[in-house]
């Protein structure tokens, strides 16, 4: 049995960032850029007006002071999307809309709200600086510059940058494909009535949801009969079709737990077979043909806990994302908490943030590891190895779940 930290370090060492693939930009949302994006244009591609107003020569306003206004002759109108090859002369003004290119001879724009107009005469009452309300050619980015650097996560703002630069598709690290194989002869379909000895298959659904939340692709093989050869064939098929294979159940020491035997028969390189975590001890991890294999416990709470603790970081690394190994913080206990000594215990709780301090409240029995308990929780507190009791007011490390 190894520690959580050792287990995670082994998993990450064996995990490779996946190669890039070209996708249309909207499909790249929340993915990681696999190439530097160079600008093929100067942005803006011309000096342009930042406001609706009048393009003028700024030096013509030098005479403005106190109550003295300067008069201009309005000689034309330029809307966004249009351009003019005329050259502005002293005393002339050109009405110009936001985004329109500044015409030759003009070096400033005065805002429409700050002037008076009478027929084709413009009256300016204030001194205007050169460059006023003008966005300069190439000010945002120049041809050949790196606009977006390899490794960043594509957010709505980056989608906008890519569109403005004319990139309709880019290369991002591809999504891992994760296969799910659920074992357990006690499991019946979600739509079945419960007969004696049977419970419904819930792990397939919660694991599919966990994979979906990570932005990875899920390939579910459904419930596999408790039969070694059938399981072996499905595992082989899953290994061919995916980057990560997950089994749930069939991993403890029961007579009908075949996962370990199957791993032996397919010459898997088993890296560990149990971790000092509660819930979740009987989790094993192996490498087969460079693919990652996780055997998660069948207990629903343990399956979700170990997925989040061990599969998620591997998946994030594959996606090219930054893997945060320790996102815990100090939490003040508001109840007494008890747990069996031994393994590190993850206790599901309700964490409240009050004025920047975090407080943990008990939400129900932990011992039976009910999913309904978890559904009332937004976080966990971690009872260290060898500690079995903490009282209200004590401090433990904790973290939020599903974040």
Within positions 287 to 316, which residues make up the interface with its own copies, using CB under 8 A?
298-300, 304
Cα–Cα distance measured from residue 325 to residue 237, given in angstroms and rounded to the nearest whole number: 31
Burial of 305 (0-12, 13-18, 19+ CB in 10 A): buried
Cα–Cα distance measured from residue 229 to residue 137, given in angstroms and rounded to the nearest whole number: 68
Cα–Cα distance measured from residue 206 to residue 222, given in angstroms and rounded to the nearest whole number: 12
Closest CA to 95 of 114, 74, 81, 115: 74
Nearest residue (CB) to its own copies, 49 versus 291: 49
Q: Are strands 169-173 and 20-24 parallel, antiparallel or unpaired?
A: antiparallel
Q: How far is the CB of 205 from its own copies (least distance, A)?
A: 4
Q: How many other β-carbons are positioned within 10 Å of the β-carbon of residue 367?
A: 9
Nearest residue (CB) to its own copies, 113 versus 326: 113
Q: How many chain residues bind its own copies (CB under 8 A)?
A: 94
Task: Quote the strand ranges of 235-289, DSSP E.
Answer: 244-248, 269-272, 277-278, 284-288
Helices (H), 120-225: 156-164, 203-214
Q: How far is the CB of 216 from its own copies (least distance, A)?
A: 13
Cα–Cα distance measured from residue 220 to residue 238, given in angstroms and rounded to the nearest whole number: 9
The answer to whether the CB of 239 falls within 8 A of the CB of 245 is yes
Token pair of 208, please? 């599919």
Q: How far is the CB of 138 from its own copies (least distance, A)?
A: 11
Cα–Cα distance measured from residue 378 to residue 34, given in angstroms and rounded to the nearest whole number: 34
- Phi/psi class of residue 146: alpha, beta or left (left: φ > 0; alpha: ψ in -120 to 50)? beta
Q: How many other β-carbons are positioned within 10 Å of the β-carbon of residue 153?
A: 16
Q: How far is the CB of 360 from its own copies (least distance, A)?
A: 17
Nearest residue (CB) to its own copies, 67 versus 194: 194
Candidate segments 4-12, 61-69, 80-88, 265-273, binder of its own copies by CB under 8 A: 80-88
Residues 128-147 that bind its own copies (CB under 8 A): 135, 139-141, 147
Token pair of 16, please? 């490779």
Token pair of 328, please? 């815990």
Residues 260-289 that bind its own copies (CB under 8 A): none
Candidate segments 92-100, 230-238, 317-325, 338-346, binder of its own copies by CB under 8 A: 92-100
Helix (H) or strand (E) holding 187: strand 187-188
Q: How far is the CB of 290 from its own copies (least distance, A)?
A: 28
The answer to whether the CB of 94 falls within 8 A of the CB of 55 is yes
Q: Does 79 bind its own copies (CB under 8 A)?
A: yes
Q: How far is the CB of 31 from its own copies (least distance, A)?
A: 12
Residues 324-353 that bind its own copies (CB under 8 A): 329
Q: Looking at 66, 67, 81, 322, which residue binds its own copies (CB under 8 A)?
A: 81
Residues 364-383 that bind its own copies (CB under 8 A): 365, 368, 370-372, 374-375, 377
Residues 224-253 that bind its own copies (CB under 8 A): 226, 252-253
Token pair of 144, please? 């050949």
Residues 6-65 that bind its own copies (CB under 8 A): 25-26, 29-30, 41, 43-46, 50, 52
Residues 160-219 that bind its own copies (CB under 8 A): 160-168, 184-187, 190-194, 196-210, 212-213
Nearest residue (CB) to its own copies, 157 versus 267: 157
Question: ∠ CA(348), CA(247), CA(187), 5° rounding?
Answer: 80
Cα–Cα distance measured from residue 353 to residue 349, given in angstroms and rounded to the nearest whole number: 13
Q: How far is the CB of 279 from its own copies (least distance, A)?
A: 11
Residues 101-130 that bind its own copies (CB under 8 A): 101, 112-113
Q: Does 254 bind its own copies (CB under 8 A)?
A: yes
Nearest residue (CB) to its own copies, 205 versus 359: 205
Q: How far is the CB of 289 from its own copies (least distance, A)?
A: 29
Nearest residue (CB) to its own copies, 163 versus 325: 163
Nearest residue (CB) to its own copies, 291 versus 399: 399
């Amino acid at each position: 049995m190894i520690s959580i930290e050792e287990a995670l370090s082994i998993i990450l060492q064996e995990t490779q960032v996946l190669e890039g693939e070209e996708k249309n930009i909207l499909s790249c949302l929340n993915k990681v850029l696999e190439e530097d994006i160079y600008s093929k244009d100067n942005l803006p591609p011309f000096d342009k007006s930042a406001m609706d107003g009048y393009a003028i020569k700024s030096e013509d306003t030098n005479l403005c002071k106190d109550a003295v206004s300067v008069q201009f002759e309005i000689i034309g109108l330029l809307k966004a999307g249009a351009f003019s090859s005329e050259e502005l002369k002293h005393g002339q003004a050109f009405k110009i809309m936001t985004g329109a290119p500044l015409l030759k001879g003009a070096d400033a724009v005065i805002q429409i709200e700050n002037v008076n107009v009478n027929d084709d005469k413009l009256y300016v009452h204030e001194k205007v600086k050169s460059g006023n309300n003008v966005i300069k050619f190439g000010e945002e980015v120049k041809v050949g510059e790196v606009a977006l650097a390899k490794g960043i996560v594509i957010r709505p703002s980056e989608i906008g940058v890519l569109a403005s630069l004319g990139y309709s598709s880019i290369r991002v690290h591809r999504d891992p494909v994760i296969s799910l194989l659920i074992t357990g002869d006690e499991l019946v379909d979600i739509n079945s009535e419960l007969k004696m000895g049977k419970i419904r298959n819930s792990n397939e659904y919660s694991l599919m949801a966990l994979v979906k939340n990570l932005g990875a692709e899920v390939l579910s093989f459904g419930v596999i009969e408790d039969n070694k050869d059938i399981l072996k064939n499905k595992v082989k098929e899953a290994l061919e079709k995916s980057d990560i294979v997950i089994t749930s159940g069939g991993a403890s020491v029961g007579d009908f737990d075949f996962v370990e035997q199957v791993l032996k028969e397919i010459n898997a390189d088993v890296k560990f077979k149990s971790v000092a975590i509660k819930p979740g001890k009987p989790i094993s991890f192996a490498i087969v043909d460079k693919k990652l294999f996780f055997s998660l416990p069948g207990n629903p709470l343990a399956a979700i806990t170990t997925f989040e603790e061990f599969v998620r970081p591997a998946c994030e690394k594959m996606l090219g994302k930054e893997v945060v190994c320790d996102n815990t913080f100090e939490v003040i206990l508001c109840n007494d908490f008890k747990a069996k000594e031994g393994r590190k215990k993850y206790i599901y709780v309700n964490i409240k943030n009050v004025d920047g301090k975090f407080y943990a409240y008990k939400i129900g029995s932990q011992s039976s590891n009910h999913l309904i308990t978890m559904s009332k929780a937004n976080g966990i507190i971690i009872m260290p190895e060898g500690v079995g009791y903490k009282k209200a007011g004590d401090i433990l490390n904790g973290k939020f779940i599903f974040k």
